[in-house]
Amino acid sequence: MFQDVISEFRNFYTNQNLTYQDFSSIIDQFAKLDVRCILEEQIKKQLYDFILDKQDGLVTYPTVETLVFEFLLQQDVPQNYNTNLKTLGVQAQRLPQDMLQTLTNEFLQQFKNFYKLVENKYGIDVEYKELETLAKELQRTIKINSIEILRYIRPLVDENEKVQINEFLQLCNDLERIIIDQHTYQTNGESKNPYNEDQINNNKNQHFSSDEENKSITHMPNVLNEQKDFANTVYQQTDIILQKKYVNQQGKQLLNEVNQTVKKMEAQISILQDQIKEKDKKIEILYTENNKKIEQFLIEKELAQSQLEQFESEIQNKDQQIQMLLQDTDFFQEEMNRVQEQCIDLKQQLKDYHDQLQSITKIETELKEVQIDNKQLNEQLSKSQSEINRLTQNNKSLMKIIEEFESKQNLEDSQVQVVIKDQNQEMIIHYEERLHELQLQYQSLEEVNVTFQKQQSGYEQQIIELKREINYYKKLYENLNCENQQLRSSIMPRPSAMGKQFNLGALGRFSKVSIFPSSKIGIINRFSNTRMPSIQQNPQTIYSNFNPLDDICNGGLKIIEQDEPEQQDFDQQEADQEEPDQQKIQVNSRRNQKFQQLLVESIVEETEIEKDSTNIKVEPNNQNQLMQNFDKFWGGLKNKNLKESIFDPQTIQIDEKILFQKDFLGIRNDQKVKELLRIENNVHKSIIQKCFSDSVYRIDSKGKRARRIIFITEHTFYAFQGETKPGKLSRNFSIKDIKALIFSESSPVVCCIKVAGSDDYLIETFKRTELNIYLTEIFNSQRMMLYNLEFSKEFKIKFKGLSDPINMSQVSKKQGYLDQGKTSAFKVSTKQGWLWLMKSNFLIQDNWKEIFVILTNVGLILFKKPGDFQPILFISLVDAIVIKDPILETNKKNLLKIRYENSEYEYLLSATSALLKDEWHDIIQQTIMEQVRQQMKQSNCQMERSRTQIKQEIKND
């Protein structure tokens, strides 16, 4: 083996200048094969410097090899301790001989500590696989030699792959005996050298650790030293006597006696040495046992400290969990109240849905009847066309007859020709009159056909829009049911401390305007130096019963012919400037209160047209009359303007409110968005695209929020940097890669979008339900596999730059993170969003500021940004009037004006899109109406109470 290592080193280090690290590694490899090569670092450094000096700064492998061989020849080989197999224990006899010879005291300590851990953790026996896992874990944490320990334990494994704890203990004891025997063998070998007696005594004295044990043992070597000194003096005296030759019989006898006494003393000294050795062994055993106990106590102390630290950390975590649970219970109680109100509203909505379905079925039956009437009219048109074709064929035959007749007339005399010409003129005049009548009938039939086609296209569009609205509200109802079920499962009733503090009551709505400081209720308008009077009354809480199907209840869809450009959208006004004379049809799905009247009028017109059409009959004519009407028919066909009966498709206008009904920010006309839409049109070859836009907050792994604008088309999800306008594109991905949409149960605004093959996108949005509805519509329209919709309190998010996902609870615990949905103002709100507020300034006319608005049952609360606790303004809705699109000279569009009946205070707000303007106008109008109804109820209640009191007083009198 030694020769193989040398040949390997020769092949590897040939023609190389060895560094000190290479030199030390070579010496260490030699030391593993021969004990004489075990050197200290200082000696290795001296040898390396010696070779550098002798070889002029070069250290090669041949010089190192020759130096090692010379060094080995000069040193003696230490005698190895050969273990006696007969003296070994039962468990140690199972081990091979090389393992017993390489046993060290340090390894024995690790082996015993491992046994103590196993004994404390397991019972009578333990599986070998569990020992392997425990040894690997200790090697990773404490860095012990687990491979060598398992090598010693492997012979103890039985047939069931288990190790008995008793056999493990016997093996520890046997290995300890082998270490003690090696130690005694080394001490005995050193004591044989005559010049090392003093050193042996010093080592024995150094072996003991405690002072008391050293004091108890030192008196024995002192006695032995005195006896040795006495024996030496006796030997010296005998030598002197022999040199001086004092020889006589008595002296010889004395010398013999002295020699005998000396021999006895030597025997006693040997006996005393044996006793001292035995006591040394006992002391060593006691010393090792004490060391074992001390190490055991230290290990137990470390384990106890680690358990205490774990226990303290668990206590802290449980305290934090208790606090979080208390907060959650408060939030869940408020949510439960809110959900109960929503359930009541949903029940009412279900009743409205049933009523709407019945009205829709009636409309469908009427449309079917109209289609049947159209079919009958088409059949009549086909019959009239066949009649006309027959007449044209007859006319062709008449042409031939006329040609023959003319040829005959040329042959007759001039007088006969004049008579015949007169007769022919009368017949031609008669035919022309007949052709003119037929032409008028044909034109009337074409006009009737065109009107019916227009009505049919309008009804088809209305059916499509009604079906879309039905699907939309069905999906909305399903999503709301799902959310309510998830909230019901996680809500537990508990009295709210915050509700008691602010006197919010069970529903969290009994709030007064006076809870806000007076400095925060200033009015920012032309009368900014004044203050709004506080509301004296405390209105009772009535949750808004707004039904999104109210418009359908009032009459379905409505078709409006628009001639004024002021009532159209911005894009439609540009089209009106180019073609002002064309009629434009706009399908409007809202504000359709007179739809039933239009249906009745259209049905009456259809019946009248049917009566007119039934009166039109093609009577049979004679051959002479057909010949007379031929010229009129032929001339009418030549002079007829075919463009009058053609239906111009450009007169149909698409309603952008329906197409872009989710563009809440109104950014589809932005240059960057237009460029992206143009690219998608070229890629997917589609002209009209639905879109969704919203202003959200992106949350990173540190809990920090950043304002983003999301824009979703039918194929791609875009995220822009910016607050009001799209800035730099920060992220985009395909919609088909969305695999899951997770809604947080602990917050009503947190949403996580799971993207396949990419990082997740964690956002805070106030239009979480609208986003889900839009994505489901896109997935269903493109017939893709729908993503998973999940409601969870705890979920994992994969962030950019991190290899492992993070739980949502860790993100929410980050410093600086604030959940917008847990603020007190958000909990009592009915609508939230960004609006623009006009500030009064005499220097700047259009001084607009973006603010975050929360609508309550009392009024509007204005904040600088979501999550703020102190508002900047409060706008009361008591005795208020909302005006949509007031006439003002400003650069903003989609305006809303709030003014009061008995004061000159007014506020001017601007929405980002026409859709949001309509939504805010409708819901503010509903809250005002709710307040009026509440006041009426209160006044009626007071009147009834006063009447009852008066009646009781009259009865008492």
- Rounded Cα distance between 250 and 548, Å, is 143
Put simply, whether the predicted model's pTM sits higher than 0.75 gets the answer no
Burial class (CB in 10 A: 0-12, 13-18, 19+), 114: buried
Q: How far is CA 787 from CA 741, 760, 772, 780, 941, in A?
A: 7, 14, 10, 11, 52
| 3-state SS class at 140 | helix
What does the pLDDT look like over 68-119, one tens digit per residue?
A: 776 665 554 444 455 556 567 777 777 777 777 777 877 888 888 888 888 8
Q: Which of 577-591, 687-701, 843-857 has the lowest mean pLDDT?
A: 577-591
Q: What pLDDT is recorded for position 483?
A: 62
Annotated domain spans of the chain: 2-74, 92-293, 660-817, 824-944
What does the pLDDT look like over 332-343, one tens digit per residue?
A: 888 888 888 888
Residue with tokens 């069905």: 474
pLDDT bin (cut points 50, 70, 90) of residue 682 is confident
Residue with tokens 């919609």: 735
Does residue 818 have a pLDDT over 50? Answer: yes
Does residue 739 have a pLDDT over 80? Answer: yes
| 3-state SS class at 141 | helix
Q: What pLDDT is recorded for position 803?
A: 84
At residue 113, φ and ψ (nearest 5 deg) are: -65, -40
Burial class (CB in 10 A: 0-12, 13-18, 19+), 680: middle
What does the pLDDT look like over 144-199, one tens digit per residue?
A: 777 788 888 888 888 888 888 888 888 888 887 787 777 666 655 544 443 334 43
What does the pLDDT look like over 626-665, one tens digit per residue?
A: 545 555 555 554 454 433 333 333 333 444 445 556 888 8
What does the pLDDT look like over 554-609, one tens digit per residue?
A: 443 333 333 333 333 434 444 444 443 333 333 333 334 444 454 445 444 544 54
Determine the average pLDDT of the residues in 712-731.
88
Determine the average pLDDT of the residues in 754-768.
91
- Is 824-944 in the same CATH topology as 660-817? yes
Q: What pLDDT is recorded for position 84?
A: 59
Residues 6+ apart with CB under 8 A from 748: 768, 821, 826
Residues 6+ apart with CB under 8 A from 435: 629, 630, 631, 632, 633, 634, 635, 636
Share of the chain above pLDDT 90, in %: 5
According to CATH, what is the number of the domain 660-817? 2.30.29.30
What does the pLDDT look like over 479-534, one tens digit per residue?
A: 777 666 655 654 444 333 333 333 333 333 333 333 333 333 333 333 333 333 33
At residue 585, φ and ψ (nearest 5 deg) are: -105, 120
What does the pLDDT look like over 44-82, one tens digit per residue?
A: 888 888 888 877 778 888 778 777 776 665 554 444 455
User: Which amino acid type is present at position 728?
Assistant: K
Q: What pLDDT is recorded for position 601?
A: 52
Q: How far is CA 63 from CA 10, 13, 35, 453, in A?
A: 11, 12, 21, 109
Does residue 910 have a pLDDT over 50? Answer: yes
The 3-class SS string of 897-923 reads EEEECCCCCEEEEECCCHHHHHHHHHH
Share of the chain above pLDDT 70, in %: 66
Q: What pLDDT is recorded for position 77?
A: 44
Q: What pLDDT is recorded for position 775?
A: 92
- Rounded Cα distance between 288 and 53, Å, is 48
- Rounded Cα distance between 610 and 632, Å, is 28
137/228: higher pLDDT: 137
Angle between helices 61-74 and 20-33 (to 10 degrees): 40
Q: How far is CA 954 from CA 41, 744, 946, in A?
A: 119, 62, 12
pLDDT bin (cut points 50, 70, 90) of residue 378 is confident
Q: What pLDDT is recorded for position 630?
A: 52
At residue 490, φ and ψ (nearest 5 deg) are: -105, 0
According to CATH, what is the number of the domain 824-944? 2.30.29.30
| 3-state SS class at 549 | coil
Q: What long-range pairs does 189-198 form, CB within 8 A, spacing at least 24? A: 189/79
